[in-house]
Amino acid sequence: MPETTARAKEVTAEPDLEEIEVRELIRVIPAHHARANDPEAGDLPGAMNLDAVSAWYGAFRAVRDVSMAIPSRQVTAMIGPSGCGKSTLIRTLNRMHEVIPGSRVGGRVELDGQDIYGSTVDPVRVRRVVGMVFQRPNPFPTMSIFDNVAAGVKLAGPRPDRPVAEIVEHSLRRAALWDEVKDKLASRAVALSGGQQQRLCIARALAVEPEVLLMDEPCSALDPIATAKIEDLVRELRDSVTIVIVTHNLQQAARISDQTAFFFVDEARSGHLVEIGPTSAIFVAPREQLTQDYVSGRFG
């Protein structure tokens, strides 16, 4: 630790002690700025745009007027204190919020220019394009490893050009799990370790080839080694899929994301967007004092 601190002091002009670790991380991962400024990225599918999105549970407004852009093939991190509506917001992006009785969504959520809440849009189709990975690994307990990954593929109907087995292998490879499970594809998914289960859930989501992958604290139930594997995976996946990740781990946000959105609650306990920008800017030079306080760990 002392060594890191010393090096960080050399590079940054006015080191704020709490920020040093995060700044250091941003410095050592060069991909950040490059991708955020990549003009090509705008043309790829999987870009989302939120316009004054609000979400209610009954009469309670958990998310208020969030407007932000989620650029294609980038990692967008959502951070903020517990209860500020991150999970609620991320679930509005694949129309999963409306599964809860009494819930409601307002505003516009666009995917590649199309309003996913439009009256003619089928939520089932939205969810096929916008996949989701949950906080706790949740493989289907009655299914084998193979069937877990194949489940979504079979839903979409057989594809004559690609056999299911091939899709399953490809997805497990993308999720960096293939080598660990290739000899026991027929055994039950619940027999895997927590970290393996989470990668299985990622493979399961990837198998339907989504354009966007939503991850709600995917590592919070995992140990550091399993967490590192998922982070590596996220870095690799962003070449082929847009990723939105909710995390409480600020270092994780700094390590893996291109842009970061910071949320906070108002007096009515409604969550709202305080600030969004390139990850390096949010962690090193945020515009808002609130963001500054949060990322430097002054409250939490």
Partner 1 sequence: MSIPIRTGSRAPTSSARSAGDRIFRVLSLGVAGMILLIVAGIFAQLALGSAEAFALFGLGFLTGQTWDVSMLVFGALPFIAGTVATSVLAMLLAVPLGVATAVFLSEIAPRRLAIPMTLLVELIAAIPSVVIGLWGVMILGAFLRDGVEVPVVGAFGELPFLGSAASGSDLLAASLLLALMITPTIVAITREVLSTIPQSHREAFLGLGATRWETIRAVVLPQARTGIIGASLLALGRAMGETMAVTMTIGNADRLPSGLFDPAQTIASKLATSWGEASDGVERSSLIALGLVLLFLALALVLATRLLARGSLRRSGIGR
Q: Which of 115, 118, 111, 30 is nearest to 72 (CA)?
A: 111
- Closest distance of CB 122 from ligand ATP, Å: 24
37 is an interface residue for partner 1 by CB under 8 A = no
Does 128 bind partner 1 (CB under 8 A)? Our answer is yes
Question: In angstroms, how far is the first alpha carbon of the chain from the final one?
Answer: 23
Amino acid at 260: T
From the list 86-94, 186-194, 196-204, 225-233, the region that binds ligand ATP by CB under 6 A is 86-94
> Binding string, 98-127, against partner 1, x = CB under 8 A?
-x-x----------------------xx-x
Q: 269 is in the binding site of which of partner 1, ligand ATP, Mg ion, none (Cβ under 5 to 8 A by kind)?
A: ligand ATP
Q: Please, what is the Cα angle at 76 between 231 and 59, to 5 degrees? A: 115
Minimum distance, C-beta of residue 77 to ligand ATP, in the bound complex (Å):
13
Query: For residues 285 and 1, what is the distance between their CA atoms, to the nearest angstrom?
Result: 23
Phi, psi of 14 (to 5 degrees): -120, 85
Binding mask 259-298 for ligand ATP (x = CB under 6 A): ----------x-x---------------------------
The total number of residues written for the chain in this structure: 300
**Partner whose footprint covers residue 94, from partner 1, ligand ATP, Mg ion, none (CB < 5 to 8 Å by kind):** partner 1
Q: Whose Cβ is closer to ligand ATP: residue 82's or residue 120's? A: 82
Q: How far is the CB of 101 from partner 1 (least distance, A)?
A: 6
Which ranges of 57-144 does DSSP label H, i.e. alpha helix?
Answer: 86-92, 123-129
Structure tokens at 292: 């500054």
* Cβ 131 vs Cβ 210: under 8 Å: yes
H helix runs in the chain, sequence order:
2-11, 20-28, 31-36, 86-92, 123-129, 145-155, 164-174, 178-181, 194-206, 224-237, 250-256, 279-284, 289-295
Q: Does the footprint of ligand ATP cover residue 82 (CB under 6 A)?
A: yes
Instruction: Return the number of the residue (97 or 272) whose C-beta is nearest partner 1.
Output: 97
Kindly identify the residues of this chain, within the stretch 82-101, that bind Mg ion according to CB under 5 A: 87
CA 201 to chain centre: 13
Interface with ligand ATP (CB under 6 A), residue from 23, 32, 73, 86: 86
Paired sense of beta strands 48-57 and 103-111, if any? antiparallel
Q: Name the residues that contact partner 1, by CB under 8 A.
A: 94, 96, 99, 101, 124-125, 127-128, 131-132, 134, 136, 138, 140-143, 151-152, 155-156, 188, 190-191, 201, 204-205, 208
Residues of this chain that interact with ligand ATP (CB under 6 A) are 57, 60, 62, 82-88, 100, 269, 271
Residues that bind Mg ion in the complex, under the rule CB under 5 A: 87
